[in-house]
């Protein structure tokens, strides 16, 4: 009944107060949609950046691991070389001690 009365009096339907509420609601919805869209965009860019950083970190870890393994191999080789040098050094030292002992025994005056 009210609808017919409003139309017959040449008044706008819906009333001005209802239109303002609808406009405000539409404005809030638009703002919320814009914020949500921007958030989704930022999240997508962040995810892409995170994936790229993750891949860069992975590459860095691989490079560092290879470097550490290379250093470990060189240290192992150096350790073997030092052991060989020590073995050679102590063999020569033992030989010299035997020669000195033989010379001392020969040069000692008897009796």
SS3 79: helix
CA–CA distance, 19 with 22 (Å, rounded to integer): 5
Domain extent for 13: 2-107
The pTM (predicted TM-score) of the whole model is: 0.45
- Count Cα atoms within 13 angstroms, Cβ side, for 80: 6
**Mean pLDDT, consecutive 10-residue segments, the chain of 111 residues?**
48 60 75 83 78 83 92 94 95 94 80 53
Residues ≥6 apart with Cβ < 8 Å to 3 = 13
pLDDT of residue 6: 47
CB atoms within 10 A of CB 53: 10
Tell me if 13 sits within 8 A of 3, measured CB to CB: yes
Tell me if 32 sits within 8 A of 38, measured CB to CB: no
Number of domains in the chain: 1
pLDDT of residue 25: 74
């Amino acid at each position: 009944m009210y609808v017919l009365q409003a139309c017959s009096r040449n008044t706008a339907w819906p009333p001005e107060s209802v239109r303002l509420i609808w406009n405000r609601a539409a404005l809030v919805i638009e703002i919320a949609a814009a914020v949500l869209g921007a958030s989704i965009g930022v999240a997508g860019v962040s995810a892409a950046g995170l994936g790229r950083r993750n891949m860069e970190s992975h590459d860095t870890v691989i490079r560092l691991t290879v470097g550490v393994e290379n250093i470990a191999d060189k240290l192992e080789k150096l350790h073997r070389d030092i052991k060989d040098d020590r073995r050679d050094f102590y063999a020569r030292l033992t030989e010299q001690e035997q020669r000195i002992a033989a010379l001392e025994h020969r040069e000692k005056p008897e009796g």
